[in-house]
Amino acid sequence: MVQLSSNFLLVSFFMFLAATIFFTVSITGKKFENRQGQLKNKAGLLGYISSVVAVVAAITYFILRWIAAGHAPVSNMFEYTTFLGIAMALAFVIIYPIYKNNYIGLITMPIVMLIIVYASMFPTEVQPLIPALQSIWLEIHVITVALGQGILAIGFVGGLLYLLRVIDFKKVTKKVIGVEFILFTIFCVVGYILFSISFGAMNYEATFDYINERGNEANMVYNKPPLVGPNEGVLTSDTGFNPLVSTPAIIVSNDLNTVIWSILGGLLLYGLLLLLFRKPIGGAIQPLLKNVNPRSVDELSYRAIAIGFPVFTLGGLIFAMIWAQIAWTRFWGWDPKEVWALITFLFYAAYLHLRLSKGWHGERSAWLCVIGFALIMFNLIFVNLVIAGLHSYAL
Amino acid sequence: MEKVKCECGHVNPYGTYLCESCGKPLIEEDDSLVNMRYEGVARRSQTYKKTIVDKIWNFFSSVKVGIWIIVILLLASALGTIFPQEMYIPPGENPTIFYEQEYGTLGKLYYQLGFHNLYSSWWYMLLIAALGVSLVICSLDRVVPLHRALKTQRVTRHTKFLEKQRFFATSEEAIENAEEVMQKAEKALREKKYKIYNENGNLLAEKGRFSRWGPYVNHIGIIIFLIGAMLRFFPEMYIDEYIWVRDGQETVIKGTDGEYFLRNDQFIIELYDEEDERFREALERTGSPVVQTYQTSATLLRRVDNGAVGLGTELEEVKQHDIRVNDPLTFDGFSLYQVDYKLNELSEFTFTLEAVQDEVEEDLSEIEFTVNLYEPEMVYEFDNGFRIEIMQYFPNYRMNDGVPETINRIPDNPRIIFEVFTPEMDPETDTGEISLIGVQVNEPLNEQINGENQYRIRMIGVDMNNVTALTVRRDRTLPILAVGGAIFMIGLIQGSYWYHRRLWIQNRNGVLWVAGHANKNWHGLEKDFDYVASKSQIPVPVDQLDKDMSDETESRND
């Protein structure tokens, strides 16, 4: 059953790929005359159908895995991140019919694919639930949060599209650097995935003896070639080489090593594209977007946030508090994850006030949407993996 | 403060931008669109600027100030997650050393600035209080005049009001069947569930006005929530206690004034079955067993008041419940949560007495006794005349400056000083053989007095017990928080998922004037206009902002 569910996820992935291709064609491809003599391009519709099929397949994965495991597949990094990707696609599928904007599909679909592949870099087997997670509130709380974040992510897509459309890429300004940085970050994720898959396929493993932060001897496994080594590390495996530098004991050096590989990957991809286009990547994309109506994209992104914000608040704060009261005896305990959920809430609250009362439309609103999504990702990745807390069982 | 009389005859409060009745702009601005925020009403904060109360009111009524409070709160909250808060550092660590030791100079600074208890610091509390004040004043400052303006709005609007709306069109010249068109438009709008108001052949279609109150409703919810959270600082509202209960034992539940007792029938820990197909792979990868259940089978008991004071307590069973993580035992506003446990706590020692040398004539085989480590009996007498007394008992022994003492009453490291009296001795006057006994410890103490001991107490058995730890919690603020949270959510949904839309269609001597306003979701308003136009041939309004797509107009309008 687990295998079957994974197959559905795979099908879903390829349908997202198909949707990406169709949306690309819908924008770059020629328009054809239909019988009524209207210029039409069916690719957008095909893209939407593909994305709907992909979401249906993904939901089938979700249900099958739920049945197989006995709990909703939202209990660890792989499962949650995958579901976040699915939620984002679902939000797109719901919003698309309102605005019929193929450009949103063009950006959403690759990001959904990236999120799902990123998720599969974490251990994917079905894990038993520890007692703290054995509650119906696991399903209620986590699914609602993911849906909320998925809808908010569409706001980010709208914001990014807006920026790519309106910013003047001819001169290198702070804004251009900002947009390029967003794209570079996405390339880093791609780099991380590519390196993880290639070294994973090689079963690469280098091990070190080192002195940990408590002054004890320990060993550490690297899954990527060690560019930075652990504190007083000594290579004990045949594979690998002596790293260029050693880190202080307080830094988890194999994680840092992975981060460095990701950045290198991002730089490589970015550099190649820069060589190819000989202008900022955003500037290379911009001509494709000349038919985007900025006001419509701006409204779409605001709409997504206005819809997603209550859902996120309900799941991430209200349901979270109810469950915390049942499982941890108190509804609020200033655990890092709780605090970052509150920060996300406050951020979007500030966004809504700025937009409604201070008239932050257009570009400023778009930047805020991007920052909001960065906060969501920060809370997912950094707070889970780096700032340990009560939620850190979630790996 | 002078009131402003509009040409339509309506008397507006001082500071009004748009006449509350006909909408004519009372303060002439450039030719940009009218500012529809809060319907152009006069707000207290903009009109009174005299006294200190006015100044405070004006300060907190500013949304800008509110947003700054939110942003500062956000940054402060983030600051508190850089290093763990004091409550999350490993138990037993001393914070004065921990932060520096673990995180170096930054950690030391973090501690010195008090960021290890950031969320209960006075300035964080002050920020939350400021947020509360800002919420109340911002809301009051806007909701009252907004309500009045929406209530007194007239159907017939001033032409200036109409032409400065974002969605606006006229038929330019008089059309013949204007009235018919108006009727068809009205019908189409009714189909779209608009409320229709007619006046002098003019028309106002409105829907979703109640969504305008959403923000104020959710702000009320937040205020109630904050009040609830504040109430927990009053002692009666909030009880947070901790009890340890040993297997098979009863203990009073703290915080219930001795009314309730809890018996721990059994505490168990279950591990996941490593053979379970579903989880085998995961369990193999981690290599360590995973706990499936922590459970205390508990019986709740209540003291029966039989009128006789001091005659011991009589308890009646109230209910039984298996307390697990995520499944507390709840009664009378209290909840008992499974939070900790201790396996294999020492509970009983069993001893015999034996002779150090073999030439003792007494039969010692009968001597076997058990000491309960929680409440030991102090004297053990045997048929053959032997008598063993406990001189001193240290449940959790340690030496403090050469003086033995006990840390607490929990038998983690029990030591007993025994005195052995042979049948010939008189316990009143004689001194028996004294020895100190514990786990792996057996020292004669009075060698110096009597020479070598003749008898030796030997431990032959140890009994252990499991102990469960439960948190006792009563939080009377929860209903208030729930009400606040619910109102907040209702307000949020009300304001987010419904939109206030208005369409004005006026017949001015056969010339049709059409304008529209939405507080959000202009896309939806546009679709409604398209629908009405498809049914009635009204002029289709254009988005006046689309005439000039640059960002400057956008921000000017807002």
Q: How many CB pairs under 8 A join A and B?
A: 151
d(CA A107, CA B178): 47
Chain A partners within 8 Å of B292 (Cβ): 128, 131
Q: How far apart are the first and last CA of chain B?
A: 27
In a domain, B520, yes or no: yes
Q: Which domain holds residue B112?
A: 43-150
In the listed set A260, A278, A296, which residue is the last one of a domain according to the structure? A278
Of A254, A278, A302, which closes a domain?
A278
Distance from CA of A273 to the nearest CA of B (A): 30
Residues A28 and A53 occupy one common structural domain: yes
User: How distant is the Cα of B551 from the closest Cα of chain A, in angstroms?
Assistant: 7
For residue B80, tell me if it sits in a domain: yes
The dihedral of CA A340, A343, A344, A345: what is its sign?
A: positive
A180 and A209 assigned to the same domain: yes
Given a cut of 70, whether residue A238 has pLDDT beyond it is yes
B356 and B440 share one domain = yes
Nearest Cα to A342, choosing from A321, A325, A327?
A: A321
By Cβ distance, the residue of B74, B81, B279 closest to A387 is: B81
CB B157 within 8 A of CB B513: no
Asked whether residue A395 is assigned to any structural domain, the reply reads no
Does residue A390 have a pLDDT over 60?
A: no
Q: Which helix (H) or strand (E) holds B304?
A: strand B291-304
pLDDT higher than 70, residue A34: no
Residues B163 and B146 in one domain: no
B99 in a structural domain: yes
Q: Is residue B421 part of a domain?
A: yes
- Residue A114 in domain: yes
For A248-253, which contacts have Cβ atoms below 8 Å and span 24 or more sequence positions? A249/A210, A249/A211, A249/A212, A249/A213, A249/A215, A250/A213, A250/B103, A250/B104, A253/A210, A253/A220, A253/A226, A253/A228, A253/A229
Q: Which of B174, B194, B176 is nearest to B185 (CA)?
A: B194
Rounded CA separation B519/B525 (Å) = 10
The contacts of residue B191 (CB under 8 Å, 6+ apart) are none
Per CB-CB distance under 8 Å, the chain A contacts of B337 are 329
Whether residues A88 and A128 fall in one domain: yes
Which residues in chain A are closer than 8 Å to B143, comparing Cβ atoms? none
Q: Of the candidates B71, B68, B45, B66, which has an alpha carbon nearest to the alpha carbon of residue B56?
A: B45
- Residues A114, A53 share a domain: yes
CA–CA gap between residue B215 and residue A306 (Å, rounded): 12
Q: Is residue A155 part of a domain?
A: yes
Task: Return the residue of A nearest to B328 by Cα.
Answer: A326
Q: Tell me, yes or no, whether B235 lies in a domain.
A: no
In a domain? residue A393: no
* A186 and A295 assigned to the same domain: no
Question: Is residue B454 domain-shared with residue B529, that is, in the same domain?
Answer: no
Of B67, B478, B521, the CB nearest to A350: B67
Q: Do A310 and B520 touch (CB under 8 A)?
A: no
- Residue-by-residue DSSP string for A176-237: HHHHHHHHHHHHHHHHHHHHHHHHHHTT--EEEEEE-TTS-EEEEEESS--SEE-TT-EE-S
| Nearest CB partner across the interface for A329, out of B272, B276, B339 | B339
- B89 in reach of chain A (CB within 8 A): no
Considering the domain architecture, whether residues A255 and A240 belong to the same structural domain is answered as yes
Measure A74 CA to nearest chain B CA, in Å.
Answer: 15
As a whole number of angstroms, the distance between CA B138 and CA B131 comes to 10
Same domain, A60 and A159: yes
- Interchain CB contact of B117 with A (< 8 Å): no
Q: Which domain holds residue A132?
A: 2-169+279-385
Q: Where are the alpha helices (DSSP H) in B431-547?
A: 447-450, 478-497, 522-536
* B421 touches A: beta carbon within 8 Å: no
CB B141 within 8 A of CB B43: yes
**Listed residues A278, A299, A317: the one ending a domain:** A278
In this structure, the answer to whether residues A53 and A178 fall within a common structural domain is: no
Strand pairing category for B334-355 and B329-331: antiparallel
Same structural domain, A211 and A224? yes
Contact A150, A261 (CB under 8 A): no
Same domain, A148 and A174: no
Residue A204 covered by a domain: yes
Q: Which amino acid is at A156?
A: F
Alpha carbon distance B449, B443 (integer Å)? 14
Residue A340 belongs to a domain: yes
Residue-wise pLDDT for B488-529, tens only, equals 999 999 999 999 999 999 888 888 889 999 988 888 898 899
Determine the Cα–Cα distance for residues B151 and B164; give it in Å rounded to an integer.
Answer: 21
> Rounded distance, CA A113 to CA A82, Å?
9
Q: Is residue B55 domain-resident?
A: yes
Give the alpha-carbon dihedral of A102, A106, A107, A113, to 10 degrees: 130
Nearest to A132, CA basis, from B325, B340, B335, B471: B325
Question: What ipTM was estimated for this complex?
Answer: 0.89
Residue B520 three-state SS: coil
Q: Please report residues of B whose CB lies closer than 8 A to that of A315.
A: none
Pick the last residue of a domain from B122, B150, B178.
Answer: B150
Q: Among partner residues B70, B279, B549, which is closest to A126 by beta-carbon distance?
A: B279
- Of B109, B134, B150, which residue is a domain's last? B150
Q: How does the average pLDDT of chain B come out, rounded?
A: 86
Kindly state whether residues B513 and B533 are assigned to the same domain: yes
pLDDT digits (tens), chain B, 558 positions: 578 888 888 888 887 888 888 888 887 666 677 778 778 787 777 776 678 888 888 889 888 999 999 999 999 999 998 888 988 888 888 888 888 888 888 889 999 999 999 999 999 999 999 999 999 999 998 898 888 888 888 888 888 888 888 899 888 888 888 888 888 889 999 999 999 998 888 899 999 999 999 999 999 999 999 999 999 888 888 889 989 999 988 899 998 888 899 999 999 999 988 888 888 888 888 778 889 999 999 999 998 876 555 556 688 899 999 999 999 999 989 999 999 998 888 888 999 888 877 666 667 777 888 999 888 889 988 888 888 999 889 998 888 888 888 888 888 889 999 888 888 888 788 788 888 888 888 888 765 555 567 788 888 889 888 999 999 999 999 999 999 999 999 999 999 999 999 999 988 888 888 999 998 888 889 889 989 988 888 888 888 877 654 444 334 333
CB B489 to CB A68 under 8 A?
no
Q: Are residues A179 and A321 part of one domain? A: no
Could you tell me the pTM of the whole model? 0.89
B531 shares a domain with B510? yes
For B89-130, the pLDDT digits (tens) are 888 888 888 888 888 888 899 999 999 999 999 999 999 999
Residue A391 lies inside a defined structural domain of this protein: no
Residue A177 domain-assigned (yes or no): yes
DSSP β-ladder status, A245-246 and A228-229: parallel
What DSSP string runs through A104-127? HHHHHHHHHHHHHHHHTTS--S--
- Enter the tokens of residue A352: 């809504």
Q: How many CB atoms lie within 10 A of CB B513?
A: 21
For chain B, what is the domain count? 3
Question: Checking phi first, is residue A9 left (phi over 0); if not, alpha (psi -120 to 50) or beta?
Answer: alpha
Q: Which residues contact B482 (CB under 8 A, 6 or more apart)?
A: none
- Partner A contacted by B244 (CB < 8 A): no
Q: Are residues B363 and B435 in the same domain?
A: yes
Residue B440 lies in a domain: yes
Cα B175–B181–B186 angle (5° rounding)? Answer: 150
pLDDT of residue A394: 43
Q: Which B residues 383-412 touch A at CB under 8 Å?
A: none
Specify whether A376 is located in the same domain as A263.
Answer: no
Q: Do B445 and B511 have their domain in common? A: no
CATH number at residue B168: 3.30.310.50
Nearest residue of chain A to residue B63 (CA atoms)? A357
Do B282 and A128 count as a contact with CB atoms less than 8 A apart? yes
What is the distance between the alpha carbons of residues B2 and B388, in angstroms, rounded to a whole number? Answer: 100
- Per the DSSP assignment, residues forming a β-bridge with B170 are B513
Nearest to A362 among B276, B294, B554 (CB): B554
CB contact under 8 Å between A350 and B71, yes or no, is yes
Chain A residues touching B37 at Cβ < 8 A: 357
Sorting pLDDT into bands at 50, 70 and 90, what band is A162?
very high
Cβ <8 Å between A313 and B497? no
Containing H/E element for B261?
Answer: strand B260-271
CB B348 within 8 A of CB B372: yes
Cross-chain residue pair A310–B558, CB shorter than 8 Å: no
What chain A residue is nearest to B241 in terms of C-alpha separation?
A329
Tokens of A128: 């038993």
| Long-range contacts at B528-532 (CB < 8 A, ≥ 24 apart) | B528/B189, B528/B192, B528/B501, B528/B503, B529/B167, B529/B503, B531/B188, B531/B192, B532/B185, B532/B188, B532/B189, B532/B192, B532/B503
Classify residue B2: in a domain, yes or no: no
Using CA coordinates, name the residue in chain B closest to A313: B489
Whether residues B459 and B531 fall in one domain: no
Question: In b/e form, how buried is each residue of A163-193, taking b as 16+ CB within 10 angstroms?
Answer: bbbbbebeeeeebbeebbebbbebbbbbbbb
Q: Which helix (H) or strand (E) holds B205?
A: strand B202-207
Q: Which residue has the tokens 């002078």?
A: B2
Task: Report pLDDT for B450.
Answer: 53
Question: What's the structural domain count of chain A?
Answer: 2
Q: Rounded to an integer, what distance in angstroms lies between the CA atom of residue A204 and that of residue B268?
A: 43
